[in-house]
Amino acid sequence: MTFVVLFCFKQLFNYCLTKIIKNNHLSFLNFFLGGLFGIFRGVILVCCVLFCFKYMNLDNFEDYVKYSIFISFFSKIFIYLFDFFNRV
């Protein structure tokens, strides 16, 4: 269910973003910066999914973190972002 909701949200966001880009006739710089924004958006999306996953599956989460490279990496990013937005 979570995947379907996130997928629909992503598709809606991509549709709106594509419509804005096509209407504004953006340059290569804007295209490049959009790619960087896309990477940032992907990291945020993965952090949100891991946040939801952490609270849905508390029993096995420590095992996943222990044996995974990406979960521990994104968890550190999530903790940093969470602390950053709590200070603001």
Domain boundaries of the chain, sorted by first residue: 1-87
> pLDDT (tens digit, 0 to 9) for every residue of the chain, 88 residues total?
778 888 888 898 888 878 877 777 767 677 788 889 988 888 888 878 777 776 666 666 677 677 777 777 777 777 887 788 777 5
Q: What is the DSSP letter of 60?
A: T
Cα three-residue angle 15-18-19, rounded to 5 degrees: 85
Task: Determine the pLDDT at residue 54.
Answer: 67
Rounded to the nearest 5 percent, the helix, strand and coil shares of the chain are 90, 0, 10
